[in-house]
Structure 1
């Protein structure tokens, strides 16, 4: 089975903001600040509506057969339409199980609206049984079907009062969690031209999501202890082999947390 874990990073769609709110003549920074101010007046916070989020990175963990890969779609110069096309092409080609953390609440609605803006087609993704009868009973759009597993939504039993942040859940399980950046800092990083930093951060997020998903597969009995450890080792081997700086940092932090946890367990037993 093919599994595609995904995460997106976004910035304000300042071009759309200029069109919708009459912000012509303002530079990107001023236009974004005006959009934030309008949103604060409306809701008390500056989190923009989904359709006004422009995608600057989609990162993925792809698990297929006996292989795993972690990467960000497109190169650093890729525009939003190209990034979207690459994401939906993966679905058209492989029909993977999608896995996310808050994908139903954020990532997928943003992908939907931005695909609409750019006219990016994906018949497989949108199929609800018209082309493939199997998709009537298990498709990407239904909340309760497992072609897309939103781990945050599922673990909270679809109750937003029980939602938890990915980094906290990952840290509780002994995984690295957030490293160096957060979604709130992406706009600042983008303005500074740090596209690589955004992409690296997004990749560590999908790694955390994949590791949490493996633990979920363990508790639901899809994999046993030996299989779970084998999957963790596959991730570690991949990170060592790729040896990219943020992968190395992620692995070092992960192994450091594991070592600390083992020491604490030994101290408890000795006590």
Structure 2
């Protein structure tokens, strides 16, 4: 079975904001400020979080577990277009038909990817299959909230109750995993303005590492991994991060006790 743990990072869709709100002629920071202000107005000052259809994807990171292989990476290159990133994500589903694993993927990542794929004219038949072409997808597909082809850990662990949902960072730390390393999602826009796309991609990779580790613990709880197998998967990941030996992976390892 192939497992693909994924996470996305986004910024405001500035071109979309210009088009919808008549902001042509303004600079990027001015457009974003206007979009944040409009969102605060819409929510009565409760939030400036941009709605899903106006989020632009700037990074997609993944952990792929396939047979004896394990990989942790960010899709595309630092200068890849949004369309290229989104296409690569859905191409991976076409190729591997993996079980998708996310944290709040049903509530954020996947709806954003739906809108961006629609915008860019991206074909993703495997992802949208619900049994019309392949019967196995009728009762277990990527779209069904209670199916297992996409496991939104936040939703599942909360018993599908939004009131019981928890942040990945806190759950990861409670389990002894590193949690956020280097930055948070709220820093992405300012890091993007500063041209720090590599830092954003690195941060996204540490998020999928935390998600993958929570997933392994979840699989142990479900009875799908015995204790020895769970420990083996953790050691496999440690070994991979040591072998790749990048600064954010070293920082992640330093914050992850050997006994956990």
TM-score, structure 1 as length reference: 0.94
Superposition deviation, residue 137 in structure 1: 0.9
Q: Distance in 2 between matches of 1:113 and 1:217?
A: 31
Helix, strand or coil at the partner of 2:90: helix
The structure with the greater share of residues assigned to helix is: 1
3-state SS of the aligned residue for 2:256? Answer: helix
Give ranges in structure 1 of 5+ residues lacking alignment: 262-271
Tell me the secondary structure at the aligned position of residue 197 of structure 1: helix
Aligned partner (choices 51, 60, 71) of residue 73 of structure 2 = 71
1:190 aligns with 2:192: yes
How far the C-alpha of 1:130 sits from its partner, in A, is: 1.0
Alpha-carbon distance in 2 for matches of 1:104, 1:117: 19
Deviation at 1:56, TM superposition (A): 0.1
1:253 Cα deviation (Å)?
1.0
Matched, 1:59 2:61: yes
What are the ranges of 5 or more consecutive residues in structure 2 without an aligned counterpart? none
1:17 aligns with 2:6: no
1:103 aligns with 2:87: no
Identify which range, 186-195 or 125-134, moves more after superposition.
125-134
The reply on whether 1:201 has 2:197 as its aligned counterpart is no
The aligned counterpart of 2:94 is 92
* Cα distance in structure 1, aligned partners of 2:93 and 2:235: 27
Counterpart in the other structure of 1:137: 139
2:91 partner SS:
helix
User: What's the counterpart of residue 29 of structure 1?
Assistant: 29
Output one character per residue of 1:29-71: Cα deviation in whole Å (capped at 9) or x when no partner: 0000000000000012100100000000000000010111000
- The residue correspondences of 1:117-196 to structure 2 (distance < 5 A) are 117-196=119-198
Bigger CA radius of gyration:
1
Separation in 1 of the partners of 2:192 and 2:133? 40
Alignment of 1:220 onto 2:222:
yes
Residue 217 of structure 1: CA displacement?
A: 0.2
For residue 254 of structure 1, give the secondary structure of its aligned residue in structure 2: coil
Output the TM-score relative to the length of structure 2.
0.98
RMSD across aligned C-alpha pairs, in angstroms? 0.8
Other structure's SS at 2:223 match = coil
Q: Indicate the SS of the match to 2:26.
A: coil
Q: Distance in 1 between matches of 2:132 and 2:190?
A: 43
Q: How many Å apart are 1:133 and its aligned residue?
A: 1.1
Which residue of the partner structure matches residue 42 of structure 2? 42
1:264 — aligned with what? none
Q: Secondary structure at the match of 2:10?
A: strand
Distance 1:70 1:180 in 2: 18
Distance 2:224 2:182 in 1: 33
